[in-house]
A and B are shown apart, each in its own frame.
With several copies, the nearest count.
Chain A
């Protein structure tokens, strides 16, 4: 079944929910009816605005979510890179990241479909918190699966989900991180498929998820494209977004895909190295677009990090939201067709960009988003005269880990944190 996107033809999508050689629906048979029901509901409500779904979605994105988010000229970064740099401020969306665009869309869709329960996976906790917020807002019971290790690493987000009334189910399989949480959520969905909707967190999974999540996230580029033309009087020469699963990426790129003059850069996490350690089955990076190979993961054919047998390897990044071995099939296809350029920056560069944006623009970005900034900073000549960088989220969730990671490295510009010892020493006071 072939869909037209809401805003006109989509050149990257073929029949049957595939994008070139990628996509598809590799899910257990028990889920197929649910996946097909979702395809129908997506077409009906999201593409054709039946029952005014799209109107309600947009109203709630505005009133509850805080859209539109600003497009801001970054004054000092523009000076530094000697070109016009604009930031799309998804960090200002309710919950602190672009994730709500998708979570709100899906929870609302589940309501329109008459579902009575939401499940979701989460890694860093950003998608989980966004889903928990949307579920509380729309009065839907919600359970979020999260690896035990991530639970310990991301305490604040766990608190937030619990405060929003969601259950958080610890997943101890494997390394206790995102990949396992997705597996476990699929299992829950396969068990409770009749009344439950699975709110997947990125442009991954079986069709129609990649297309649907991209449609919900495309509000980013819809706004940014209009804003940049209004503020700068022109289209950008380039658009830069980080890529984990690729939802902020596709959301930021989508409306620019047809603008051939606009270069699109998907910035992956280079981690500490681009190699894969076959011995331990670990990739010290999450650069599936740059170094991954074709395979099937979590319901879709796509590029992924795997060993020579086809077992998926554990990815790594200092930024847990990018720490995923796969990537959305549409993005994989756009890379194959050379419409999107995959690039990557390593952990150190991302941390330096984090500090740069914090100190020079007064915006503490998510570590994920810092990757996009880091690429721009290191490669200004590739950006053209005017670039739009998506700041996909805010860095409040990353404070503790940035401090820790910063202490272990020699980084340009990192501020000292001896303040706590000084305060404890109790000197202070007086001039």
Chain B
């Protein structure tokens, strides 16, 4: 499914890290999110150095790694996922970079030269399992050439994050390189649920409003109310991670806990917030 199309109406984009606490439970959670109104899924592939994440998502990543989640398991999981919304893979560049090096190959070339052939194999495999695009927080436009090319080859989108600090030429270049949507970072810092919507949000949206690409706002969104405000401010989508991971973090007995129910409820709150915002936008004040 074309990623950009998912934003025809303002979209709710939940994030979860795959493998926390297990791949099987992630499946239940994802289904709950879809039931709750998810329009796009950002699914994290856990990496050992999640430098763009705050404590909540870090914790989730650590649990997923401790559960032994590997890129291959991730791909199989997405492959077997029976949902009707596009999936975006969120991870860090080293995992793309390493993918496809067999251990044998690595051992035969301990010097590290030519051990890696870049992100090509990873993208190929992602395409195979039906992934629509990528968000790679440690890959700025400057270093994205090889991945952009591989994505183009395989018809995948590459989503860039526009930070409050992004301006001028860099902004131009990033918008140019971005496909699917623009990830508009609502505040400086790292991921994490906050009680208010940053003042930055409107300014950030304003500076990209002229570009013809869907804009999804993330970093710190935690309530339906916030989601509504963001959409009212002109966003085409709202990305929510930590507020959902907070629910996952409370998981208990795999057969008995109510995490899926609570995830679904939270997702519904958020997606309804998005929808309410969209409705208001149809009114006069709308841009």
CB within 8 Å of B: which residues of A? 16, 24-34, 173-174, 179, 183, 186-187, 190-194, 278, 281, 290-299, 301, 303, 306, 308-313, 332, 335-336, 429-431
Please determine whether A430 and B112 come into contact, CB atoms closer than 8 angstroms.
no
Residues of B within 8 Å of A191, CB to CB, are 188-190
Q: Counting CB contacts under 8 A, is B139 at the interface?
A: yes
5 A-B pairs with the lowest CB-CB distances in the bound complex, closest first: A430-B55, A310-B98, A191-B189, A30-B163, A311-B48
Determine how close the nearest CB of chain A comes to the CB of B200; give it in whole angstroms. Answer: 11
Residue of A nearest to B47 (CB): A311
When A and B form their complex, what is the total count of cross-chain residue pairs whose Cβ atoms lie within 8 Å?
163
Q: Out of B49, B116, B165, B167, which one reaches A298, CB within 8 Å? A: B49
Residues facing A in B49-84 (CB within 8 A) are 49-56, 58, 62, 65, 70-71
Identity of the chain A residue whose Cβ is nearest the Cβ of B45 in the assembled complex: A309
Q: Which residues from A are CB-within-8-Å of B189? A: 30, 187, 190-192, 431
Query: Does B179 reach chain A (CB closer than 8 Å)?
Result: no
**23 pairs across A/B with beta carbons < 8 Å?**
A25-B142, A28-B137, A28-B161, A29-B162, A29-B185, A32-B142, A34-B165, A187-B190, A190-B188, A190-B189, A278-B103, A294-B113, A296-B92, A296-B97, A308-B102, A309-B95, A310-B47, A310-B99, A312-B48, A335-B111, A429-B55, A431-B54, A431-B192
A194 touches B188 (CB 8 A): yes
* B207 close to chain A: CB less than 8 A: no
A183 vs chain B, min Cβ distance (A) = 5
Question: Is A312 within 8 A of B165, CB to CB?
Answer: no
Q: Is there contact, CB below 8 Å, between B65 and A311?
A: yes
Residues on A with beta carbons closer than 8 Å to the beta carbon of B138: 26-28, 296, 299
Docked Cα-Cα span, A194 to B140, in Å, equals: 18
Please indicate which of the listed interface residues B102, B140, B160 has the most CB atoms of chain A within 10 Å of its own CB. Answer: B140
Q: Is the beta-carbon distance between A193 and B99 smaller than 8 angstroms?
A: no
Residues of the A chain whose Cβ atoms lie less than 8 Å from the Cβ of B94? 295-297, 306, 310-312
Chain A residues within an 8 Å CB radius of B95: 309-311
**Proximity string of chain B (141-164) to chain A, C-beta cutoff 8 Å, 1 when within and 0 when not:** 111000000000000000011111
Whether B166 sits at the interface, judged by CB under 8 Å, is yes
Contacts of A33 in B (CB 8 A): 163, 165-167, 170
- Report if A29-B166 is in contact (Cβ < 8 Å); known contacts: A303-B112, A310-B95: yes
Closest to A303 in B: B112
Contact A309 B142 (CB under 8 A): no
Which chain B residues in 19-55 approach chain A with CB under 8 Å? 47-55
Q: How far is the CA of A309 from the CA of B65 in the complex (A)?
A: 11
Contact pick for B188, options A26, A192, A293, A298, CB 8 Å: A192
Q: B115 an interface residue at 8 Å Cβ cutoff? A: yes
Contacts of A431 in B (CB 8 A): 54-55, 189-190, 192
Residue picked from A24, A311, A335, most chain B C-beta under 10 Å: A311
Q: How many residues does chain B have at the interface if contact means C-beta atoms less than 8 Å apart?
A: 56
Given that A173-B62, A294-B116 are known contacts, is A190 also in contact with B174, CB under 8 Å in the complex? Answer: no
Check B188–A30 contact: CB distance below 8 A: yes
Interface centre among A26, A173, A301, by most chain B C-beta atoms within 10 angstroms, is A26
Residues on B with beta carbons closer than 8 Å to the beta carbon of A332 = 112
Known: A32-B165, A311-B47, A430-B58. A291 touches B110 (CB 8 A): yes
B262: chain A residues at CB < 8 Å are none
Q: Write out the residue numbers on chain A whose beta carbons fall within 8 Å of the beta carbon of B99.
A: 309-310
Closest to B61 in A: A173
Known: A186-B51, A310-B97. 12 other contacts (CB 8 A): A26-B93, A28-B140, A29-B174, A30-B161, A32-B170, A33-B163, A33-B165, A187-B52, A194-B165, A291-B110, A309-B99, A431-B192
Please state if A29 and B163 are interface contacts (CB–CB under 8 Å): yes
Closest to B170 in A: A32
Complex CA gap A296/B122 in Å reads: 15
Which chain A residues border B163 with CB–CB below 8 Å? 28-30, 32-33
Contact A28 B51 (CB under 8 A): yes
Interface string of B162-185 (1 = CB under 8 A from A): 111111001000100000000001
User: Is A25 touching B161 in the complex (CB atoms < 8 A)?
Assistant: no
Chain A min CB distance to B94 (Å): 4
Q: With an 8 A cutoff between CB atoms, is B125 at the interface?
A: no
Distance in angstroms from B188 CB to nearest chain A CB is 5
Q: Are A193 and B165 in contact (CB under 8 A)?
A: yes
Pair B98/A29 contact, Cβ less than 8 Å: no
B251 sits at the interface (CB 8 A):
no
Chain A neighbourhood of B140, CB < 8 A: 25-29, 32
Looking at the complex, which one of B58, B92, B115 makes contact with A173 (CB distance below 8 Å)?
B58
Q: How far is the CA of A357 from the CA of B112 in the complex (A)?
A: 34
Please, which residue of chain A has its CB at the minimum distance from the CB of B144? Answer: A26
Residues of A within 8 A of B58 (CB): 173, 429-430
**A286 CB to nearest chain B CB (Å):** 15
The distance from the CB of A372 to the nearest CB of chain B, in whole angstroms, is 22
For the complex formed, measure the closest distance between the CB of B11 and the CB atoms of chain A, giving whole angstroms: 21
Contacts of B141 in A (CB 8 A): 29, 32
Is there contact, CB below 8 Å, between B113 and A25? no
Q: Which of B54, B110, B111 contacts A430 (CB 8 A)?
A: B54
Q: Is the Cβ of A292 less than 8 Å from the Cβ of B112?
A: yes
Residues on A with beta carbons closer than 8 Å to the beta carbon of B47: 310-311
Whether the Cβ atoms of A25 and B170 lie closer than 8 Å is no
Q: Name the distance in Å between A103's Cβ and chain B's nearest Cβ.
A: 22
**A301 → chain B, closest Cβ, in Å?**
8
With A190-B190, A308-B106, A310-B95 as known contacts, state yes or no: A336 contacts B111, CB within 8 Å: yes
